[in-house]
Structure 1
């Protein structure tokens, strides 16, 4: 029953988004498009979440990769994709960053967006930045002990609980036997230490914070879902991509160069984190890192599409060629 209610809420929210976009002209790409100065430099507003995932973009700006493409990035910080998606599609922002489940759900509801560039993912050796953790004294030793327990995720019906459900099933546990509750990442640390919840799906820097307090990891849901899971992407509106193909191509080129550089210079990534996040510099040197693929891991996105259908987040399938439209070089 609760799952049905949550699904209906999600559908209502997306339906409202679609209606709002229609009223706004679905992002005409006209006056709201990024402005170009007399030297040919285009300023683009990019919706970002102040987390580790987008560090390559900040580092790329510092390294001049965007300046090489005659782009100036105006970061628009948001709490999550719920604010970024409408800002991009309405034309307020030219580009945005969002997890792929949010993009899949929005696309299935007719929201005119397209993923253009890989954002963040995992790879063997760089796949522990998000995990399900329990307190040191917890009797929970593994996923077999989760039925009847309460597990917190930052957002319900999204990439966290979708991949956890898939991992539970793989481990022989009925996902319906676990109660999912929504709590923000920072608040989970207190919630789990005060026994308000039995387990928490945390992402860095909170994974390290809990491990420092003696917490134990019982599930790596991303890795269990796919060893090279594509977690998030950079996207734009269909209208902006059509009206400004050269800007989109240049943005894609700058981001991909930033991703490639980030993978080869993780020390520099750690060094920049405290400049735009609340991660202390000392902690930034210790947190578990993720991966920044420079190409779309399509098989993993296909798996996310399948799972969103299986868990009834969408009513109709999403074709990858409709969702992912990489700029032509």
Structure 2
């Protein structure tokens, strides 16, 4: 194993106002801000990661030297949600960004020309095996989606993938999402808010689901597996400007990343260990961490699935051309 180190790991801590501002920029970039063409002559690229298990392939890929083998030096910047990473891509501060497929399709329809370079994970149709969950207070009154009517649920980002997945789950369960308050809170803050009685439940993703279960919270359902099985919840996107100006560098990244996904799939213990290292997950929790379905590709069919979901809830009026959103590489 190559002893390649993460040369830069910069965690961007955004306040609630900053997250909302970043999400607004991603959603309202109707001026077609198409920056992001800035590749590096020395092979250095910046990747926006999220505090989620599906970021594991980039961390493992750096550690294993897969990117170095392709002549790339990877720097990482962590943000709290994918919408907050879109402005970094469109401004050229980062070349690649992690996130659920939803915010990238949403950004595309709002004037930010993003395309998918690779996949990471997809939702699993089996309860308990997926990488997301709904948590409430053990012994409380929230045990089903329908129980949330008249109450509140926290999501990591509003008008983004977490809210949309929860709304789809509520609809599938026959619950009225318009009778539920959605509150934007980071996972740790959401669990504290449940303790205080400020909210009734929270939508979480790994490693937070496993940590919440270990801390005694009630994991009462798995929204994505119920509502959107097979939807990519971990993808990597880049701007069309960057991809058109740096096709060879982008293809090199794609090859290295897909190799990283396959390595991650084949070495789950290493994946869990690196998630624990990067996200400070307690060692006694890691063994139970759900890693999802490692999937290195994003297809036009995936884009159509995401667009249909967005249109179903009136978030977009027209689907983007799915084929235009797939970077073929080489």
**TM interval, short-chain normalised:** 0.7 to 0.9
Q: How far did 1:10 drift?
A: 9.5
Distance 2:319 2:241 in 1: 22
Give, in angstroms, the shift of residue 115 of structure 1: 1.2
The 1:140–1:77 alpha-carbon spacing in structure 2 relative to 1, beyond 3 Å, is: closer
Q: What is the DSSP-based 3-state SS (H/G/I as helix, E as strand, rest coil) of the residue aligned with 1:86?
A: helix
For residue 173 of structure 1, give the secondary structure of its aligned residue in structure 2: coil
Given the superposition, is the C-alpha separation of residues 145 and 12 from structure 1 closer, same or farther in structure 2, using an over 3 Å criterion? closer
TM-score by length of 1: 0.86
Per-residue Cα deviation, 1:292-313 (whole angstroms, up to 9, x for no partner) = 2022255444222112112222
- Whole-Å Cα distance in 2 between the matches of residues 272 and 58 of structure 1? 7
**Are residues 173 and 79 of structure 1, via their aligned partners in 2, closer, same or farther at CA, if it must alter by over 3 Å?**
closer
For residue 323 of structure 2, what is the aligned residue in structure 1?
321
Specify every segment of 5 or more residues in structure 2 that has no aligned partner in the other structure, as ranges.
Answer: 1-20
Structure 1 CA distance, aligned partners of 2:323 and 2:235?
15
Gaps of 5+ in 1: 1-8, 37-41
CA distance in 2 between counterparts of 1:124 and 1:33 reads 38
Deviations 1:182-228, CA, capped at 9 Å, x for gaps: 11111011111221111111122222232224322232111112322
Classify 1:142/1:16 alpha carbon distance in 2 versus 1 (closer, same or farther; 3 Å): closer
RMSD of the TM alignment (CA)? 2.4
Distance 2:176 2:22 in 1: 23
Cα distance, 1:142 vs structure 2: 1.4
Q: What secondary structure is seen at the aligned counterpart in 2 of 1:307?
A: helix
In structure 2, do the counterparts of structure 1 residues 242 and 13 end up closer, same or farther at CA, with 3 Å as the change threshold? closer
Matches within 5 A, 1:1-329: 13-14=25-26, 17-19=29-31, 22=33, 26-27=34-35, 29=37, 32-36=38-42, 42-124=43-125, 127-296=129-298, 298-327=300-329, 329=330
Distance in 1, matches of 2:46 and 2:23, equals 28
How many residues of Structure 1 are paired with residues of Structure 2 in the alignment?
Answer: 310
TM-score normalised by length of structure 2: 0.86
The CA distance in 2 between the partners of 1:27 and 1:194, in whole Å, is 43
Contact 1:273-1:281 within 8 A present in 2 as well: no
Tell me how far apart the structure 1 counterparts of residues 144 and 117 of structure 2 sit (CA, whole Å).
38
How far did residue 15 of structure 1 move?
Answer: 6.3
Specify whether residues 28 and 219 from structure 1 end up closer, same or farther in structure 2 by C-alpha distance, changes over 3 A only. closer
Contact 2:26–2:84 under 8 Å retained in 1: no
Q: What secondary structure does 1:211 align onto?
A: helix
Change in Cα spacing, 1:10 to 1:174, as seen in structure 2 (3 Å) is farther
Residue 251 and residue 50 in structure 1: after superposition, are their counterparts in 2 closer, same or farther (change >3 A)?
same
Structure 2 distance, partners of 1:163, 1:96, is 20
